[in-house]
Amino acid sequence: MAESFKTDVVIIGAGLTGLTIAFYLKKAGINFKIVEKSGKTGGVIQTISEKGFVYETGPNTGVVSHPEIAELFEDLAGKCALETADPSAKRRLIWKNSQWHALPSGLWSAISTPLFTWGDKFRILGEPWRAKGVEPNENLAELVKRRMGQSFLDYAIDPFISGIYAGNPNELVTRFALPKLYQLEQDYGSFIKGAMKKAKLPKTERDKKASKEVFSAKGGLSRMIEAMTEEIGSENILLSVENTLVRPNSEGFQLQITTPEHLFSIETKQLITTCGGYALSGLLPFLNEEEIAPFNELKYAAVTQVLLGFQKWKGISLKAFGGLVPGIENKNILGVLFTSSFFEGRAPKGGALLSVFMGGTKRPDIAKMDDDQIQALLNKDLPRMMSDRTLNPDMTRILRYPKAIPQYTESTGHRYEMIEKLQLKYPGLILAGNIRDGIGMADRVKQGRSIAEDLIEKMQGH
């Protein structure tokens, strides 16, 4: 017989969004339960130590792009600590014509770099006087060609998008995929003018916390997950949950779930989903075909990550964040992250830890390849890029993420509209996670905290 109980909030998913919501609800004394299908919290975020190397099996790094991520670490003080990248990580490399070039970091380096054509260098100088775009669903490729030129798209934006979305700038819609960039043009009429004017705007102490620095947690991102899980309390988390079935009722929602020990029936006023769009049809069977369509249509990039550990590094200097490979160069890799060069203790002294990313939306075929095929593709390109002809690592791990990163394409507007519509139709339902509001770790924490604060205000009547 099912064990029944009531709670104020049920959060489906114990990834970073779900844990953030739960963490702030707990601080406010709100009753909740997290329901998680896997046997651990943190979603894909997991840190592994092996043979003197410390690597991540999910996101490798985040960016302190919102104050909320800095404040989360402040709230976890004593349990885990924010680690920001070594300043060398500000240097990004781009592969062109069989060698690495530093990505320009300012106007002068953009004019002197061999990455862009002379015609586009003059376009960049004229960018502040170019007319503002009027098409709200303009894709990133169209926007960049219009303002900066084809070579800027090929050798700056295309590899940058490979690094963030593993995606294609021809498919991603700027106002959804890179909303801050979109707003620069809308608010100031220019990227360059906008960036300069924004830099001069007065900043509050809270604004300054969004330092834009690359971050992890000291010892790896698992430390952050463990600290949050401990604060939330294991009594509030149900793991290894199967057959989750949700039904709306007069009080809110009823959930039927199965754990290895029990069958539970849970009644709740508030239900928050944080899972991928592909999981919603099974979870919320009461949604009709039209309502579920925008979530089923959401496209994901499949990413393969190859971790390479070297006890002694003999290749190129790794004093950089890593190297990105533009699609126009026709290589088999999206990029390489030089993790051990900017975070402490990720490889033995004198050694190196590299994270190589492959696949994405441009090369979906790689997702179906076996380890030997992936190794063969890697050996074709990587040794020459890293100036180590043998490239004989002491540790190799191949990880696959079939639904790694949602793509914010033109269908995003329709999905956002449907989220609002469903939340109005089913009071108490909140559709969260990376189906909206950005894909980075800071985006997840910002969204989670915002949802928690809205619920706290609603429930405590402030």
| Structure-block tokens of residue 146 | 């219009």
Class of the CATH-defined domain 3-43+222-298+408-460? alpha beta
Handedness of CA 214, 218, 219, 225 (dihedral sign): negative
Share of the chain above pLDDT 90, in %: 94
List pLDDT tens digits, range 349-394: 999 999 999 999 999 999 999 999 999 999 999 999 998 677 899 9
Give me the architecture of the 300-406 domain, per CATH. Alpha-Beta Complex (3.90)
Return d(Cα 314, Cα 331) in angstroms, integer: 23
For the segment 38-82, what is each residue's pLDDT rounded down to a tens digit? 999 999 999 999 999 999 999 999 999 999 999 999 999 999 999
**Count of other CB atoms within 10 angstroms of residue 233:** 10
Say yes or no to pLDDT of 216 above 80. Answer: yes
Would you say residue 2 has pLDDT above 80?
no
Nearest to 331 by CA among 374, 264, 380, 293: 380
Q: Name the residue ranges covered by the structural domains of the chain.
A: 3-43+222-298+408-460, 116-201, 300-406
Backbone angles phi, psi at 308, to 5 degrees: -125, 120
What's the rounded Cα separation, in Å, for the pair 171 and 121? 25
What was the pLDDT predicted at 108? 84
CA 253 to chain CA mean position, Å: 30
Please report which confidence band the pLDDT of residue 190 belongs to, taking 50, 70 and 90 as the band edges: very high
pLDDT for 389-410, tens place per residue? 778 999 999 999 999 999 999 9
Alpha-carbon distance of 175 to 57, in angstroms, equals 30
> What are the CA-CA distances from residue 279 to residues 33, 296, 297 (Å)?
19, 8, 12
Whether 300-406 and 116-201 are alike in CATH topology: the answer is no
Q: How is residue 1 written in tokens?
A: 């017989």
First to last CA, the chain: 40
Contact call for residues 211 and 84 (beta carbons, < 8 A):
yes
Residue written as token pair 């002809």: 389
Model pLDDT for residues 247-278, shown as the tens digit of each residue: 999 999 999 999 988 899 999 999 999 999 99
Mean pLDDT of 12-22: 98
> Does residue 234 surpass a pLDDT of 80?
yes
Taking the C-alpha atoms of residue 10 and residue 355, their distance in angstroms, rounded to an integer, is 36
pLDDT value at residue 462? 54
229 contacts 41 by C-beta, under 8 angstroms: yes
* pLDDT (tens digit per residue) in 120-166: 999 999 999 999 999 999 999 999 999 999 999 999 999 999 999 99
Q: Are 159 and 324 in contact (CB under 8 A)?
A: yes
**Topology annotation, domain 116-201:** protoporphyrinogen ix oxidase, domain 3 (1.10.3110)
Q: Which residues pair with 267 in a beta bridge?
A: 6, 254
Task: For strands 252-258 and 242-249, give the pairing.
Answer: antiparallel
Confidence grade of residue 425 (pLDDT, cut at 50, 70, 90): very high
Q: pTM of the prediction?
A: 0.96
pLDDT of 382 reads 95
